[in-house]
Amino acid sequence: MTPQDQFTPFLVRLAQAGLRVEEQASAGLAPAQLILVQSEDWSRLGIEARAWGCRWVAGWGEDRGETTRINACFEKAGAYLVARTAVPRAAPVLSSHTASFPGADRPERHIRDMLGVVFSGHPDARRWTRHQAWKDSEFPLRRDFPAAGRPQAQTPSDHQYSFLLAQGSGVYEIPVGPVHAGIIEPGHFRFQAVGETVLKLEERLGYTHKGIEKIAEGRDAEGLARLAGRVSGDSTVAHAWAACMAMEKAVGLVVPPRALWLRALMCERERVANHVGDIGAMLNDIAFAFGFYQFARLREEWQRVSREAFGHRFMMDCIVPGGVAADLDERFIAAMRNEVGALRKQIVKLMSIINDLPSVADRVRGTGVLKPEYAKALGCVGYVGRASGTDIDVRRDAPYPPYDQLTVKVPLHHYGDVNARARTRLEETAASFDLIEGLLAGLPAGAICARWTPPAADAEGLGLIEGWRGEILSFVRFGADGRIARFFPRDPSWTTWPALELLIHDNIVPDFPVCNKSVNGSYSGHDL
């Protein structure tokens, strides 16, 4: 059974349940399958998808003039299904999927803020992405909303958002952010605590909303790749790749093998850099300076090689539509092989020291436990999911080239604490080293970029990439002029930010930094 056939019995089941579902061919969305669903059946689709054991991957909307189109992407066993429906713009009401899939909560609120679609039955009527930069009667992703907007001379602060309150004797509130104590992105955390114990944490994000979906409109392919590379600066390679994959599928462009292998090499280098740096940062958050400086040193050395080989410390703008911007000089093949060998040894040595320290174990074991059932319910991807038993990795489950020719080892843990997330990331680093060696050994010769071909009007494409944080989904549609009409990047952080609220429960406030770091959601990638 090919992955695509996974959904055939599901579609039969939907038909038997009386849902009017129509399959539609869409080459750009492949390997995902596209179905059209009547809007009245949307809620039942969610219920059936849940019963079938699907994961809710992402939801996004498009202004199509008279109607507003809503898409929801589901996944099961590496097969993807895009369900599509439409609601009249004059009465944009659709049933919510949140009751079936808690992970749909914030994405649906985002769609409401951006497109004005009301999700009936949604448990939370509060806005999410919108603060005070535009009015509640305005919807930035509608076509008649100008990208420049109608901003006030000064945007007021969003101090009237109603946080949920815990009450009782000794309960107090700690507001944190958006300007944090460290050098990190802005967001607001509202703690309710008793003594040192966290009763409840509520996140308020959206501070770094830069209008990425809106300002993507009207760009050419190269311009979109640049923008995608800045959705989340730490994942510049993964997001650029996902967006380019979506655009290339939309036009049916065949990317030269060498370019694909180089993309994977960059993506694995990005994974190693972030994992290594973050393991140091987690050690910093438990005040173990030695570990922090050692891993920061390793990350710096790694980034310098990236710069020498590809011209940029983060390899930003190295992935372009059709291929890659710069070739890899032959001398780096041996150099990177040595680099990987040396780093592997260094990490083993460092970890043998760190594993010996009861003071480290005391801070990370049993801290910030994300129960497997919560991870599954929220659809957590990446190392957050894999440290809590959710075994998903696009590179293995829906392999895109060159991973279809490589063996991807996917570490899995079940305990879901800070320790499990750190272990998962360490083991993923080791798996990346193996992949880098494989990529260097098998790097094909040939061109590094295919000539861009103009897209057909209304062509759409879907990119799915396993970035270092997990599965990235990127949707692209071209307009009649060959320019971008819609861009929606779903960063994995959408699935892991809600997990942080759950896993911090009953932990002490001073453990929040290490819990937060162990998840390391992207603010920018989430706020868009």
Partner 1 sequence: MLRIFGKIQRIGIVTEPVPRLDEPALTEIGAQLKAGIGAQFGGSLAIREVDAGSCNGCELEIHALNNPYYGIERFGVHFVASPRHADMLLVTGPVSRHMEAALRRTYDATPEPRLVIAVGACGADGGEFGTSYASCGAVSNVIPVDAVILGCPPTPLDLMRGILEAIGRKT
Q: Which residues of this chain interact with partner 1, rule CB under 8 A?
A: 131-134, 140, 145-151, 154-158, 178-179, 181-186, 206-212, 214-215, 226-227, 230-234, 236, 277, 290, 293-294, 296-297, 299-300, 303-304, 307-308, 313-314, 316, 349-350, 352-353, 356, 522-524, 527
**Closest approach of Cβ 278 to partner 1, in Å?**
11
**Closest approach of Cβ 429 to partner 1, in Å?**
17
Nearest to 103 by CA among 375, 370, 368: 375
Q: How far apart are CA 239 and CA 258, in angstroms?
A: 19
Q: How far apart are CA 60 and CA 115, in angstroms?
A: 10
Q: Nearest 5°: phi and psi at 229?
A: -70, -5
By beta-carbon proximity to partner 1, the closer residue of 147 and 480 is 147
By beta-carbon proximity to partner 1, the closer residue of 93 and 353 is 353
**Closest approach of Cβ 183 to partner 1, in Å?**
5
By beta-carbon proximity to partner 1, the closer residue of 15 and 289 is 289
What are the residues whose beta carbons fall under 8 Å from the beta carbon of 369, sequence distance 6 or more?
A: 415, 416, 417, 503
By beta-carbon proximity to partner 1, the closer residue of 299 and 421 is 299
By beta-carbon proximity to partner 1, the closer residue of 228 and 420 is 228
State the maximum Cα–Cα separation within the chain, in Å, rounded to a whole number: 70
**Closest approach of Cβ 155 to partner 1, in Å?**
4
Question: H or E element: which one contains 247?
Answer: helix 236-251
By beta-carbon proximity to partner 1, the closer residue of 64 and 307 is 307
Q: How far apart are CA 335 and CA 330, in angstroms?
A: 9
By beta-carbon proximity to partner 1, the closer residue of 120 and 155 is 155
Q: Are strands 470-478 and 484-490 parallel, antiparallel or unpaired?
A: antiparallel
DSSP state of 452: P
Nearest to 124 by CA among 92, 102, 143: 102
| 285: Cα within 13 Å, side-chain hemisphere | 26
- Check if the beta carbon of residue 409 is closer than 8 Å to that of residue 363: no
Q: How far apart are CA 110 and CA 231, in angstroms?
A: 16
- The residue assigned the tokens 């098998």 is 442
**Closest approach of Cβ 213 to partner 1, in Å?**
10
**Closest approach of Cβ 88 to partner 1, in Å?**
25
**Closest approach of Cβ 234 to partner 1, in Å?**
5
**Closest approach of Cβ 212 to partner 1, in Å?**
8
By beta-carbon proximity to partner 1, the closer residue of 78 and 178 is 178
Give the Å distances, CA to CA, from 515 to 363, 420, 477. Answer: 10, 11, 37
Question: H or E element: which one contains 280?
Answer: helix 257-285
